[in-house]
């Protein structure tokens, strides 16, 4: 790369706070820092020409937990831990919609519908029986009354004739969201340097090394790399999880009217401009999808196209585009917001809920690092 003296000097000079990653957490953290301390110099380093993990590659769900997912989390981690994460998601969504207007999000309060296998009454009834319990939790912790309700499924005949509806969930355009966060960040005076891939963090000397051998000095550092974190901090309990996604061409009489979840949230789909957007299925090959490499596999594509044809017969012949995104997951869905040392903070492991939790996490990271200065 042919850098001038001026470019090299600007890139390598230390800001008050340097952030690695310009996804939803990195941008939200930087914005929250500047809202609290506009005098601070904040620099974001992003390896690609745009955020390249899941922030612009997700399916655009403004959600905080389907019934089956939450009951699974309660079974595994306990009620208190589960609801702590749900509160983070809920307050994160509130923060996001306060910061980015519904117009700029392309936000629709379409609701969230959880579907079940057509002939599996036992499973559907099991989750239906828990609705009163979960509604009470949502009332106690979020102040939401009658969050979940049983609804007839009149549109999608390939699934059970009863579904669970959450009227408080919505759908967005993730690229519109990120574009507006970028505009807010630039307006706040935040420097965002794209195309600089950090390959090493020298915490002793406070130096970041890039793939093209620039040496970026830092005073305080926040790592917001989520699914790519192990490349830089391999000892953290956060692992990549690839999700494969498809979208069809516009379909006549598209039956979808909300965001949909199936198979404990591993499958999700929605409509966008008459198209069907469908993704997930990594539970079909957990080992294969534990990767930070973008791409597609036959096992997941075959599974998703089969579900697509259940939603809309013949739609697999109308697929326009495939892509994949990389999330950060781990043994817990609680984000990792730990200090690596006195100058290095992490904000990773969003558990596939970056849209919901990212803005909340940004506030928390900003508060932690500003208190250090």
The pLDDT of residue 206 is 97
All domains in the chain, ordered by first residue: 5-57+175-237+332-372 (3.50.50.60), 110-141+148-172+239-329 (3.30.9.10)
Q: C-alpha 264: how far from its chain's center?
A: 17
pLDDT tens by residue, 185-222: 999 999 999 999 999 999 999 999 999 899 999 999 99
Nearest to 312 by CA among 271, 357, 368, 372: 271
pLDDT tens by residue, 264-321: 889 999 999 999 999 999 999 999 999 999 999 999 999 999 999 999 999 999 999 9
The pTM of this model reads 0.94
The pLDDT of residue 1 is 72
Residue 123 has pLDDT above 90, yes or no: no
Give the pLDDT band (50/70/90) at residue 2: confident
Enumerate residues 6+ apart whose C-beta is below 8 A from 67. Answer: 114, 127, 130, 131, 134, 148, 164
Residue 332's alpha-carbon distances to 176, 351, 373, in angstroms, are: 30, 8, 30
Number of residues that this document lists for the chain: 373
Enumerate residues 6+ apart whose C-beta is below 8 A from 164. Answer: 66, 67, 113, 114, 127, 128, 131, 148, 149, 150, 151
Out of 4-18, 149-163, 239-253, 290-304, least confident range: 149-163
What 8-state DSSP symbol labels residue 37? -
Nearest to 232 by CA among 257, 262, 200: 200
The pLDDT of residue 176 is 95
**Inter-residue contact 22 to 183 (CB < 8 Å):** no
Nearest to 356 by CA among 77, 23, 24: 24
DSSP string over 71-116: HHHHHHH-HHHHHHHHHHHHHHHHHHHHHS-HHHHT-B---EEEE-
DSSP string over 202-265: ETTTTEEEETT--EEE-SEEEE--GGGGGGT-TTSS-EEEEEEEEEEPP-TT----SEEEETTT
The pLDDT of residue 154 is 85
What 8-state DSSP symbol labels residue 334? S
105 or 50, which is more confident: 105
**Inter-residue contact 78 to 332 (CB < 8 Å):** no
């Amino acid at each position: 790369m042919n850098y001038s003296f001026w470019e090299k000097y600007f890139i390598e000079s230390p800001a008050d706070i340097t952030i690695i990653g310009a996804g939803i957490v990195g941008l939200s953290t930087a914005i929250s820092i500047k809202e609290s301390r506009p005098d601070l110099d904040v620099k974001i380093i992003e390896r690609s020409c745009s955020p390249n993990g899941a922030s612009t590659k997700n399916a655009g769900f403004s959600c905080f937990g389907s019934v089956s997912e939450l009951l699974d989390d309660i079974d595994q981690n306990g009620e208190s831990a589960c609801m702590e994460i749900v509160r983070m998601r809920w307050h994160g969504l509130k923060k996001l919609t306060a910061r980015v207007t519904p117009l700029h999000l392309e936000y629709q309060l379409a609701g969230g519908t959880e579907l079940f296998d057509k002939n599996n009454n036992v499973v559907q009834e099991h989750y239906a029986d828990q609705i009163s319990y979960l509604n009470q939790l949502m009332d106690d912790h979020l102040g939401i009354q009658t969050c979940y309700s049983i609804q007839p499924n009149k549109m999608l005949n390939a699934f059970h004739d009863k579904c669970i509806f959450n009227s408080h969930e919505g759908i967005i355009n993730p690229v519109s969201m990120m574009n507006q966060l970028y505009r807010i960040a630039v307006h706040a005076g935040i420097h965002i340097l794209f195309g600089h891939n950090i390959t090493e963090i020298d915490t002793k000397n406070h130096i970041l090394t890039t793939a093209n051998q620039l040496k970026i000095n830092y005073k305080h550092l926040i790592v917001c790399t989520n699914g790519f974190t192990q490349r830089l901090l391999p000892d953290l309990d956060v692992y990549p999880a690839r999700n494969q996604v498809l979208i069809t061409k516009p379909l006549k009489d598209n039956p979808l009217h909300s965001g949909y979840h199936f198979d404990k949230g591993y499958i999700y789909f929605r409509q966008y401009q008459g198209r069907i957007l469908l993704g997930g299925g990594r539970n079909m090959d957990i080992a294969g999808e534990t990767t930070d490499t973008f791409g597609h596999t036959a096992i997941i594509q075959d599974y998703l196209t089969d579900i697509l044809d259940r939603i809309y017969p013949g739609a697999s012949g109308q697929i326009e585009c495939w892509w994949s995104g990389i999330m950060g997951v781990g043994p817990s869905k609680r984000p990792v917001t730990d200090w690596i040392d006195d100058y290095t903070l992490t904000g990773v492991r969003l558990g596939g809920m970056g849209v919901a939790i990212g803005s909340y996490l940004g506030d928390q990271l900003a508060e932690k690092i500003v208190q250090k200065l």
